[in-house]
Amino acid sequence: MSEQTFIIVGASLAGAKAAEELRGRGFDGRIVLIGAEPERPYERPPLTKDYLRGESPREKAYVHETDFYTEHEIELLTSTRVATLDPGASRITLADGRELGFDRLLLATGAEPRRIPIPGADLEGVHSLRTLADCDQLRDRIGAGGHVVVVGAGWIGSEFAASARQRGLEVTVIDPLALPNERVFGPEIGSFYRDVHAQHGVELLLGDGVEAFEGDAAIARVRTASGRVVDCDFAVVGIGVMPRVELAEHAGLEVDNGVLVDEQLQTSAPGVFAAGDIARAWHPFFGERIRVEHWANALNQGPAAARAMLGEPGSYDRIPYFFSDQYEVGMEYSGHAPQWDEVVFRGDRNDGEFIAFWLQDGRVIAGMNVNVWDVNETIQTLIRSRQAVDVGALTDSDTPLESLLAQPVT
Ligand SMILES: Cc1cc2nc3c(=O)[nH]c(=O)nc-3n(C[C@H](O)[C@H](O)[C@H](O)COP(=O)(O)OP(=O)(O)OC[C@H]3O[C@@H](n4cnc5c(N)ncnc54)[C@H](O)[C@@H]3O)c2cc1C
């Protein structure tokens, strides 16, 4: 029986999956999983989708059954905040003053919504959406109907807008960009999603920022930079997230847009690891450090960190992947494309069923399949192959995607 204590800070997807992996690999020492939220670990994607709309039970959102943690002798401390980390002394202090020593520690403290620094941001009825508690409040708001202003047309804002429309609310989306998610995916995908929302009756005020929320005690209207005034019953702010790095920073770990980790997910302090939204990890395939704020990364990086904590060899080199569901439009995206030469399409965007490929130097560096399924693995293989592709074949729906792998263009 091991005498060792492994502590996991952050009881969400990355943390819970790491704890599961530790037991799964036979670690029989002490595991303490500590989370600031009152809930046992749960997944966040349902909070903009089926759970938000009241279409799925709360139980479905949790990562594990209630008994999982006791059955696996994982000490789950909920409503418990870790206040300090001392890597030199291998100790943490909890907010209530208790101290705990560790042999290995995993930081999985995730990310938190960016606050909007404008007048009225603290008014009643101005919401953000990160936790189950946030979502429960918004479920009630949606249930009461009315008009919601969504600030930010990124994935959270867009998914919330779609769910609110599906529940019959009047929805206005405001974003300073000309098109949703334009900076990351380009105008082709941005205009596709703009049109999807417009077709579902969302009012889009694009190329315009929000300057103030106004009202007496509660929000009653939103004023934009261009001087527009939009009356509303409540607002949801989805303008991105920031990695929760305070603990790491105060501990003296290297931090730069996330906690810096190597390909084994170890931080600059030996024995201290980081995974999920908080980690900016060296990626051996891309040859740079990347931080990924998506579900699949937390799902897979947590267990990878657990294996590294056990001293098992291996590096984390998965191709980043995420998914989004809005109305009847489901999509998956794989890859990492900070810049690209062109975006080409297989299938017609007007039919709502297509695959977009981001190309650089004739190679596929990312792909998004929209309402086309069972292709994402092939897209990832294409990316990994780094081979130049025949664009004619790539964009021809009658040519099987797999055949491109067999016929590299030299
Ligand atoms: C509403 C919503 C919908 C989403 N939908 C999708 C989707 O459709 N597709 C997709 O790919 N991704 C989606 N995501 C992103 C995905 O959920 C995140 O990438 C994932 O939750 C990251 O998991 P994590 O474990 O790294 O961190 P988090 O989920 O952020 O969890 C970190 C936990 O650490 C706790 N914590 C922080 N500091 C401390 C401390 N000092 N002491 C104790 N505990 C602490 C926090 O309270 C929190 O519970 C969505 C996110 C949200 C918010």
Q: Which of the listed residues 277, 292, 297 should we mutate to test ligand 1's pocket, taking the one with most ligand atoms within 8 A of CB?
A: 277
Q: For 327-380, write each residue's pLDDT tens digit.
A: 999 999 999 999 999 999 999 999 999 999 999 999 999 999 999 999 999 999
Q: What is the distance in A from the centroid of ligand 1 to the CA of 321?
A: 16
Residue 322, ligand 1, Cβ within 6 A: yes
Residue 45, ligand 1, Cβ within 6 A: yes
Residue 294, ligand 1, Cβ within 6 A: yes
Q: What is the distance in A from the centroid of ligand 1 to the CA of 373?
A: 26
Number of Cβ within 10 Å of residue 373's Cβ equals 9
Confidence of residue 409 (pLDDT cuts 50, 70, 90): low
What is the structure's pLDDT at 356? 98
What is the structure's pLDDT at 257? 97
Residue 9, ligand 1, Cβ within 6 A: yes
Closest CA to ligand 1's atom 5: 45
Q: For 229-247, write each residue's pLDDT tens digit.
A: 999 999 999 999 999 999 9
Q: Which helix (H) or strand (E) holds 77?
A: strand 74-77
Q: Which helix (H) or strand (E) holds 325?
A: strand 321-326
Q: For 46-57, write each residue's pLDDT tens digit.
A: 999 999 999 999
What is the structure's pLDDT at 100? 98
Atom index in ligand 1 nearest the CA of residue 45 equals: 5
Q: Which helix (H) or strand (E) holds 363?
A: strand 363-370
Q: What is the mean pLDDT of the chain?
A: 97
Q: What is the distance in A from the centroid of ligand 1 to the CA of 237?
A: 17
Closest CA to ligand 1's atom 47: 36
Residue 245, ligand 1, Cβ within 6 A: no
For 16, 17, 58, 62, the CA distances from 68, given in Å and listed in that order, are 10, 12, 17, 11
Residue identified by tokens 């261009």 is: 226
Residue 366, ligand 1, Cβ within 6 A: no
Q: For 173-219, write each residue's pLDDT tens digit.
A: 999 999 999 989 999 999 999 999 999 999 999 999 999 999 998 99
For 5, 12, 16, the CA distances from 102, given in Å and listed in that order, are 5, 20, 18
Asked whether residue 315 carries a pLDDT value surpassing 60, the answer given is yes
Predicted TM-score (pTM) of the model is 0.97
Answer whether 9's CB lies under 8 Å from 108's CB: yes
Residue 12, ligand 1, Cβ within 6 A: yes
Nearest 10 degrees: Cα torsion 255, 260, 265, 271: -50
Residue 47, ligand 1, Cβ within 6 A: yes
Q: For 87-132, write each residue's pLDDT tens digit.
A: 999 999 999 999 999 999 999 999 999 999 999 999 999 999 999 9
As given in the structure block, the two tokens for residue 61 are 């959102």
Answer whether 267's CB lies under 8 Å from 253's CB: yes
What is the structure's pLDDT at 147? 98
Q: What is the distance in A from the centroid of ligand 1 to the CA of 320?
A: 16
